[in-house]
Amino acid sequence: MLIDPARETGQLTLLTNAMVREVTTDAEGRATGVSYIDTRTRSEQKVQADIVILAASACESARLLLNSTSNQHPNGLANSSGVVGRYLMDSTGTTVAGILPQLMNDPDHNCDGVGGMHVYIPWWLHDQHDRLGFPRGYHFEIWGGRGMPGYGIMNNIHTYNDAFAGPDERPKGGGGYGPQLKEDYRRFYGSVVGLSGRGEMVAREDNYCEIDPDTVDQYGIPTLRFNVNWSDAELQQVRHMQETGREILRSMDAHVFGDMPTEEQDYGITMPGEIIHEAGTTRMGDDPRSSVLNSYCQAHDVDNLFVTDAGPLVSMPHKNPTWTIMALAMRASDYIIDQRNKGTL
Ligand SMILES: Cc1cc2nc3c(=O)[nH]c(=O)nc-3n(C[C@H](O)[C@H](O)[C@H](O)COP(=O)(O)OP(=O)(O)OC[C@H]3O[C@@H](n4cnc5c(N)ncnc54)[C@H](O)[C@@H]3O)c2cc1C
């Protein structure tokens, strides 16, 4: 999105097929550029720079910093605090779905171009945490409509038949071929509605990624390994998501698919990383002993190094993170321009 306007300035050189290995530094420990693998030739190349800005996504930027060791930065670049890779967060997630009988047998009509992407219910109980038993909030993303039918949903629909079997209902189990399949689609198409919850994870130091000493990628660059677990805060939040989602669907007379997940099933929470909103690995803060970056995404330890992905996030937004990443990147960019104009960077 921003590459075209940057190109129009005539100041951008875009290097593709370039897999960055590490940030290079000088004898004082300041950043001098990056070294990268040309993925076509597998040769190692270097780029010199006055300022290095990493925006490789939260975990990859942490990997680059941790792989950039030197005499001045033995624990990895910008990592005198030991915080790089720590406080790793993802959004919590779970989904509830059901079939709405009032939407069944919808006459064929053209829905081309109709989308419900990110219609959502924002968090509404921000002043009631005392009674909820968990901190932070979540939202629901609502989905449904007459998209491409999938037979996975049809399998769930058979639970509807099991629950409401009557003389005009389809036999248990149903079928998967021919006229019966077509009949199922005509009857049920567009009648499934789902609520996907996405919420805030609490940032905790003991959730982290680190360099795996035993594994490298295809370019010989050491990879990450992960140590991330949900706490009771996230599990109780997702229990609330499940209970509330079911209540909303039932109030619409839906037949809800599946039983409420139990405590042993972790209330149906996704795996850490599954929602793909990783954040927090190079957190910002005022104290260099407990954070990697300042509020302009500038490394405390290396003044000409910036990180502008979701690594700087100190807490997880309950809404998906990309606009926050963009806002912080804009603020960092304004700061860099200002400092360059003043001659202080
Ligand atoms: C399927 C999917 C759906 C999503 N939906 C949403 C959504 O609806 N809303 C939302 O807010 N967020 C969503 N997200 C999350 C969102 O995509 C990320 O938060 C966002 O893209 C992160 O931006 P970024 O610039 O930090 O990293 P990225 O967008 O991942 O960009 C990093 C760039 O760096 C490059 N790179 C990485 N490593 C290296 C290296 N070593 N050398 C050279 N280049 C490198 C990558 O190729 C990439 O071009 C979704 C993610 C996925 C995967």
- CATH code of residue 14: 3.50.50.60
CA of 310 to the centre of ligand 1 (A): 9
Residue (of 252, 261, 258) closest to 162 by Cα position: 258
Looking from the CA of residue 278, the nearest atom of ligand 1 is: 19
Residues 195 and 263 in one domain: yes
Contacts of 266 (CB under 8 A, 6+ apart): 230, 235, 238
Residues 104 and 196 in one domain: yes
Residues 141 and 283 in one domain: no
Residues 14 and 115 in one domain: no
Residues 97 and 122 in one domain: yes
- 284-339 pLDDT tens trace: 999 999 999 999 999 999 999 999 999 999 999 989 999 999 999 999 999 999 99
CA of 276 to the centre of ligand 1 (A): 9
User: Is residue 166 in some structural domain?
Assistant: no
What pLDDT, on a 0 to 100 scale, did the predictor assign at position 144?
Answer: 87
pLDDT category at 156 given cuts 50, 70, 90 is low
User: Is residue 218 in some structural domain?
Assistant: no
User: Is residue 10 in some structural domain?
Assistant: yes
What pLDDT, on a 0 to 100 scale, did the predictor assign at position 160?
Answer: 61
Q: Order of strands across the sheet with 43-48?
A: 18-25, 31-38, 43-48
CA of 119 to the centre of ligand 1 (A): 22
What pLDDT, on a 0 to 100 scale, did the predictor assign at position 165?
Answer: 47
Backbone φ, ψ for residue 237 (5° rounding) = -65, -40
pLDDT, average across residues 83-96 = 97
CB 85 near ligand 1, within 6 Å? no
CB 275 near ligand 1, within 6 Å? no
Mutate to test the pocket of ligand 1, among 47, 57, 307, 333 (most ligand atoms within 8 A of CB): 57
Looking from the CA of residue 279, the nearest atom of ligand 1 is: 19
User: Is residue 327 in some structural domain?
Assistant: yes
- 167-185 pLDDT tens trace: 455 554 455 677 877 777 7
Separation CA 84–CA 62 (nearest Å): 6
Residues 140 and 251 in one domain: yes
- List the residue whose alpha carbon is closest to atom 24 of ligand 1: 57
What pLDDT, on a 0 to 100 scale, did the predictor assign at position 149?
Answer: 63
User: Is residue 183 in some structural domain?
Assistant: no
CB 104 near ligand 1, within 6 Å? no
pLDDT, average across residues 48-71 = 98
What pLDDT, on a 0 to 100 scale, did the predictor assign at position 167?
Answer: 46
pLDDT, average across residues 8-12 = 95
CA of 3 to the centre of ligand 1 (A): 15
- 288-300 pLDDT tens trace: 999 999 999 999 9
Separation CA 74–CA 70 (nearest Å): 5
Looking from the CA of residue 319, the nearest atom of ligand 1 is: 11
User: Is residue 173 in some structural domain?
Assistant: no
Q: How far is CA 46 from CA 32, 39, 142, 217, 281, in A?
A: 10, 13, 47, 19, 25
Amino acid (one-letter) located at 160: Y
326-329's contacts with Cβ under 8 Å and 24+ in sequence apart are 328/297, 329/55, 329/297
User: Is residue 207 in some structural domain?
Assistant: no
Residues 70 and 35 in one domain: yes
Amino acid (one-letter) located at 53: I
Please give the residue range of the domain that contains residue 117.
Answer: 92-147+190-202+232-268
CB 62 near ligand 1, within 6 Å? no
- List the residue whose alpha carbon is closest to atom 44 of ligand 1: 19
CA of 186 to the centre of ligand 1 (A): 38
User: Is residue 8 in some structural domain?
Assistant: yes
CB 325 near ligand 1, within 6 Å? yes
CB 276 near ligand 1, within 6 Å? yes
Residue with tokens 């290079």: 24
pLDDT, average across residues 189-216 = 95
Q: How far is CA 201 from the centre of its chain?
A: 11
Domain count, the chain: 2
Looking from the CA of residue 308, the nearest atom of ligand 1 is: 26
Residues 137 and 240 in one domain: yes
CB 322 near ligand 1, within 6 Å? yes
- 95-129 pLDDT tens trace: 999 989 999 888 888 888 777 667 889 999 999 98
Residues 102 and 244 in one domain: yes
Separation CA 342–CA 336 (nearest Å): 10
Looking from the CA of residue 118, the nearest atom of ligand 1 is: 8
What pLDDT, on a 0 to 100 scale, did the predictor assign at position 327?
Answer: 97
Residues 72 and 130 in one domain: no
Residues 9 and 67 in one domain: yes
Residues 126 and 198 in one domain: yes
- List the residue whose alpha carbon is closest to atom 45 of ligand 1: 56
CA of 57 to the centre of ligand 1 (A): 6
What pLDDT, on a 0 to 100 scale, did the predictor assign at position 152?
Answer: 59
CA of 38 to the centre of ligand 1 (A): 21
State the first-to-last Cα distance of the chain, in angstroms, to the nearest integer.
27
Backbone φ, ψ for residue 53 (5° rounding) = -120, 120
pTM: predicted TM-score of the whole model, two decimal places: 0.92
